[in-house]
Amino acid sequence: MGRRSGKKSACVSCFSRRSRSAKRIEMLPIVASPTNPSPNASNPSKSHGSLAPAKAGKKKTGSRLWMRFDRTGNSEVMEWDKSAILKRVSIPARDLRILGPVFSQSSNILAREKAIIVNLEFIKAIVTADEVLLLDPLSHEVIPFVDQLKQQLSLKSPFRIHEPDHVEVRTKGLPSNEAAEGEDELPFEFQILEIALEAVCTYLDSNVADLERDAYPILDELAMNVSTKNLERVRSLKSNLTRLLARVQKVRDEIEHLLDDNEDMAHLYLTRKQIQFQQLEALMASGVSNSIAIAAPHMARLNSNPWSASIVTSIYSDDNDVEDLEMLLEAYFMQLDGTRNKILSVREYIDDTEDYVNIQLDNQRNELIQLQLILTIASFAIAINTLIVGIFAMNIPCHLYEVQKFFEPFVGGTSAGCFLIFMLMLGHARWKKLLGP
């Protein structure tokens, strides 16, 4: 009986602990997360309101602040961890390191299957065909870019490639006037890339303008007065110029790398890839997937079917057409090249000022050497007179001591002889061009 009662009490205590833990779980507040969204997540107004209790709770380990923009310019600020970002944009985990603090000074535009990794100066974003995820949107350097995104995206209507009617028209091989108008507009990813490049180029141009405004007065003052203070200011100016030139050069080299490779530029066409994927899905749904599978080796078989041939041609013919992106990148490459030339002109002005200062210092050094040479010649001439005085100052018998009125002519003659020696040596130095004119 004692054993049975002990088991019964143990079961009762275990049941009471489970009931208390269940009550505590029911009393906990529900916090929205990317993997388990709350019922209000579908409503943007309610999702913004639910950020207050989420901030009040404990922050997730490794979560960072992101801002999401869609095609219409609507935005929302969320805290996502690494796994949530990887699941949302379908990129390798190593690509997130590019947006980390280790590669903060690098410039990269990387194309992936469904996203573009943009790391340009202060802009760190992941761009897809439908949205853009911006990292650290509350930074003072990123806030103007956020405002520009909201303004530019709100002015542009949504791109028409995702409308069901348009996909249907392209699938049937009958392009409409609306499709032709939609093709004139840049895809969404290129709109974001254009805004990012414009913001970066404007930021770098403003830094170069500030550098020019500070550089020329400092260099002119150094040319007029070579002092330790002015030299220290020029040294700080040169270090700032070197860092700014390196930043401009990194962005310029990244754009140049893309322009040199058409294949890399073709990978940046996310909207084109999405269109092709939608067309393939439509073809598979209509029962012509087998004809697409043999389209490459047996293209002649499709000539009998104009409908399928036009579809395959529309899918595979424009993969190497990168004219729009090439024109976009060339425009900003030229702008960055102009910014780089401005920095190089400032550096040339610094080099010219340093050469002028070095010439001034060399001239002063030459003047000091000439003065030293004159003093050396004068010291030699005076040394001869001192030698004569020293000889006569010795206590030796000499009949010249007994000659009357001999001191004045002797001193005057020796001094005149020393002066004559000084003038002869000075004239010889001038004849040899050891002294200035």
Quick one: average pLDDT of 177-200?
A: 75
Q: Which residues pair with 77 in a beta bridge?
A: 67
- Residue 412 Cα to chain centre, angstroms: 80
Between CA 121 and CA 207 the distance in angstroms is 13
Helix (H, G, I), strand (E, B) or coil at 111: strand
Quick one: average pLDDT of 58-73?
A: 77
For the chain, helix, strand, coil in percent to 5 are: 70, 5, 25
DSSP conformation letters of 272-323: HHHHHHHHHHHHHHTT-HHHHHTTTTTGGGGGG-HHHHHHHHHHHTTTT--H
The closest alpha carbon to 429, from 383, 374, 382, belongs to: 374
The closest alpha carbon to 134, from 195, 52, 176, 203, belongs to: 195
* Tens digit of each residue's pLDDT (9 = 90 or more) over 354-398: 999 999 999 889 889 989 999 999 999 899 888 888 877 777 777
Three-state SS for 54-93 is: HHHCCCCCCCEEEEEEECCCCEEEEEECHHHHHHHHCCCC
Quick one: average pLDDT of 276-298?
A: 65
Between CA 351 and CA 357 the distance in angstroms is 10
Between CA 51 and CA 63 the distance in angstroms is 14
Quick one: average pLDDT of 317-324?
A: 70
Between CA 143 and CA 75 the distance in angstroms is 13
The closest alpha carbon to 388, from 414, 357, 422, belongs to: 414
Position 283 scores a pLDDT of 83
Lowest mean pLDDT among 86-95, 295-304, 345-354: 295-304
What amino acid occupies position 113?
A: E
240 vs 25: which has the higher pLDDT: 240
110 vs 435: which has the higher pLDDT: 110
For residue 351, name the pLDDT band (cuts at 50, 70, 90).
Answer: very high
For residue 300, name the pLDDT band (cuts at 50, 70, 90).
Answer: very low
For residue 125, name the pLDDT band (cuts at 50, 70, 90).
Answer: very high
Position 234 scores a pLDDT of 93
Q: What are the Cα distances from residue 41, in Å, to 50, 78, 339, 347? A: 9, 12, 45, 54
The residue written with tokens 């020293």 in the block is: 390
**Above 80 in pLDDT, residue 305?**
no
**Above 70 in pLDDT, residue 346?**
yes
Quick one: average pLDDT of 400-415?
A: 78
Phi-psi region of 132 (alpha: psi -120 to 50; beta: other; left: phi over 0): beta
Lowest mean pLDDT among 57-61, 95-99, 322-326, 419-423: 57-61
**Above 60 in pLDDT, residue 161?**
no
**Above 70 in pLDDT, residue 139?**
yes
Position 318 scores a pLDDT of 56
Between CA 244 and CA 209 the distance in angstroms is 11
Between CA 409 and CA 368 the distance in angstroms is 37
> What is the 8-class DSSP label of residue 30?
P
Helix (H, G, I), strand (E, B) or coil at 105: coil
Determine which helix (DSSP H) or strand (DSSP E) holds 127, and give its type and residue range: strand 123-127
325 vs 32: which has the higher pLDDT: 325
Quick one: average pLDDT of 143-171?
A: 62
For residue 331, name the pLDDT band (cuts at 50, 70, 90).
Answer: very high
Quick one: average pLDDT of 27-35?
A: 39
Position 156 scores a pLDDT of 67
